[in-house]
Every structure is written in C-alpha cells, then in structure tokens.
Amino acid sequence: MTITLDFAGKNVLVVGGTSGINRGVAELFARHGARVAVASRSQDKVDATVTALKALGSDAMGFAADVRNPDAIAAGVASVQQAFGDLDVVVSGAAGNFPATAMGMSANAFKAVIDIDLMGTFHVMQAVYPHLKKPGATVINISAPQAFIPMQAQSHVCAAKAGVDMITRTLAMEWGVDGVRVNSIVPGPIDNTEGMARLAPTEEMREACVQSVPLKRMGQPEDIGNACLFLASDLGSYVSGVVLPVDGGWAQNGAGSMSESLAAFAAMSKKS
Ligand code: COA
Ligand code: NAP
C-alpha cells in the first residue's frame, strides 16, 4: 500500500522546532512539501534549522522567542502569518525537564517547567488562534507520558503536561465550531534526544528503558512526525481532542518503570 501525503501549499509552524523530536517533525513536513516556520529561544538554533529546512526545499523561516513571553510569541507568530498567510498546521512542543524530587527542587524550579510547558502552550494557543486557517487548521500539542503516568522526580512535568492535555481537550471543544482540530501526541522514549539524555543518562538506564517498551526499541523523531502528518492530513479529518501515545506501547505500563530509577538518579544528582 502506498499512501502519499502532500503538504504543498500548506503553512506549518513548529514551536520548539529547532532540536530533537520537534525538529524532526519540522523536517518531515518540509520533506512533504510544506512551508515550515520554526521558533525557539536561541537565534542560532533557529538559523541552523531554517538553513536545514531550506536545503530540504522548504520555503522556511523562523523567529527567536521564549514561550514564557506571550508578547514575543504573538509578534513572532504574526510575522509568520505575514510571510506565509494563515496557518494550516501548528505543532507546539517547547518544553523543559530535569529529574528532581519535589523536595529536591525550589518553587522556582517547579515554576520554570510549569511556565515553559503549560503557560507556554497556552501562550502559543492564544497567539496562533487569530492566524489559523478556519475551517481546516489543525493544532498538535506535544505532551509526554508524565501527563497520565505519575513518575517520581517528575512532579513538575507531570503537572505541566497533564495541563497541556487538558488544554488540548478543552480547545478541541472551543475551536471545533471553527473547523479547527486540536490533538496531543504523547511521544514514547525517542532516541538521541535531550529528553532522553536527561531521563536516561546512563547506558544502564537507557537499556532498562528500551526493555520497558513493548516493541523493545526507542522511537525516532520521524515516528512522531509520521503521526503529525496523519493528524494534519485529510486522513485525520475526524480526529479531534485526542491524546495519542506514539510510543511502541510504552504508556501501557513501561513508562511507569522509569519512576524508581529517576528517583534514585535525582537523589544522586540532587542540587545542593
Ligand atoms: N534540579 C533541581 N533544580 C533545577 C535543576 C535540577 N536538575 N535544573 C534547574 N533547576 C532549577 C534552577 O536552580 C532554578 O531554580 P532557582 O532559581 O531556585 O535556583 C530553576 O530550576 C530555573 O532554572 P534556570 O536555569 O534559571 O531556568 P532556565 O529558564 O534558564 O531553563 C530549564 C529552564 C531549567 C528547564 C532548562 O533545563 C532548559 O532550558 N531546558 C530546555 C531543554 C530541555 O529541558 N529539554 C528536554 C525536553 S523534555
Ligand atoms: P529538545 O531537543 O530539548 O527540544 C526542546 C525544544 O524547545 C528546542 O527547540 C528548544 O530550543 C525549545 N525550547 C525550550 N524551552 C523553550 C522556551 N522557553 N521557549 C521557546 N522554545 C523553547 O527536547 P526533546 O527531547 O526533543 O523534546 C521535545 C518535546 O517532546 C517536548 O515537548 C518533550 O516534553 C516531548 N517528549 C520528549 C520525549 C523524548 O523522548 N525526548 C518523550 C516524551 C515527550 P531552545 O533551546 O532554542 O529554546
């Protein structure tokens, strides 16, 4: 069976799209013909990603902004709309994470992750709404298993990503009337990413993580990109308000096995 997904003439914005999973998503949309814009804090990372996207044939652009700054995000999104026109696809995936128990982090550390993951998602949603193609646009929030699987040393991420998924589900209701679909993707452990470098920093932890995935392998950014292509395409045209694990089955129970090793690692690496 051959399925061709053609995003020629489509405008895609990937917030947090300058490294790891989200960059893989941006590149996959570019390979499928889309005009792609990326955003993150580092101008250098934005520039490098835009160069790479252009090399893939995309009419790419980007802007540097922190998702914690709603005005900067709104201005950046408006600049993309001016250059491209209204947005067909928005992927929102900026996030921060570090292993720390509740008693091993300051209130400001907890707040940093809430501000980036949860408030940042809200800021992106508010910034993009006026510039979404209506009807027809689709929004994809990048969540995490911590949203529904409690993990030690992850109270900040668990709280933030649970909130992200509830934003997804609420906006699917609020924006459905406009013909805008809103979904979350929950990546499993994705190889060679900053997230896994932080959550499975030793070879032993990495191998334990692989063994905890029912499919016995880590994912690739392209696995998440493929799910984004599906959700953003006509194949996904009746899918909205879904929290979709793309994880080799990890969310069934494997992800929970990270809890003990993360608690032990956080105790070892506790900030003094
Ligand atoms: N354990 C406990 N607290 C930590 C910590 C750790 N490993 N790392 C950072 N913190 C605390 C800091 O000490 C600070 O708290 P304080 O002011 O009370 O000292 C607070 O978190 C904010 O840290 P800061 O470095 O000022 O924040 P930042 O805004 O520059 O960076 C982070 C945000 C901490 C999330 C940073 O790791 C980041 O930018 N991450 C993005 C990349 C990433 O996490 N990728 C994986 C995605 S899954
Ligand atoms: P990553 O490489 O660190 O990507 C994070 C991206 O967000 C980068 O482009 C980063 O660029 C940007 N970013 C971070 N903080 C930002 C801020 N305050 N404002 C704007 N941009 C910001 O991480 P990753 O591991 O690929 O994770 C990507 C997403 O997948 C995250 O949402 C994460 O929660 C989720 N996830 C990852 C895994 C995994 O296995 N890695 C598993 C489950 C879920 P700058 O540094 O330039 O800002």
> Is the CB of residue 69 below 6 angstroms from any atom belonging to ligand 1?
no
Nearest residue CA, atom 17 of ligand 1? 108
CATH code of domain 11-271: 3.40.50.720
Q: What average pLDDT does this structure show over 69-89?
A: 98
pLDDT tens per residue, range 37-78: 999 999 999 999 999 999 999 999 999 999 999 999 999 999
CA 221 – ligand 2 centroid, Å: 12
> Is the CB of residue 67 below 6 angstroms from any atom belonging to ligand 2?
yes
pLDDT at 4: 76
CA 250 – ligand 1 centroid, Å: 26
Question: Higher confidence at residue 30 or residue 265?
Answer: 30
Q: Domain map of the chain by residue range?
A: 11-271
Q: What are phi and psi of 165, to 5 degrees?
A: -65, -30
Considering only 96-100, 117-121, 168-172, 251-255, which range has the smallest mean pLDDT? 251-255
- Model confidence at 123, pLDDT cuts 50, 70, 90, reads very high
CA 117 – ligand 2 centroid, Å: 9
Please tell me the number of the ligand nearest to residue 113's CA.
1
Q: What average pLDDT does this structure show over 4-32?
A: 97
Please tell me the number of the ligand nearest to residue 143's CA.
2
Pocket test for ligand 1, best of 106, 114, 209 (most atoms within 8 A of CB): 106
Considering only 4-13, 122-131, 261-270, which range has the smallest mean pLDDT? 261-270
> Is the CB of residue 271 below 6 angstroms from any atom belonging to ligand 1?
yes
CA 112 – ligand 1 centroid, Å: 7
> Is the CB of residue 105 below 6 angstroms from any atom belonging to ligand 1?
yes
Q: What average pLDDT does this structure show over 210-232?
A: 98
Give the nearest ligand 1 atom to 144 CA. 48
Pocket test for ligand 1, best of 97, 110, 111, 191 (most atoms within 8 A of CB): 97
Residue 240 one-letter amino acid: S
Give the nearest ligand 1 atom to 41 CA. 39
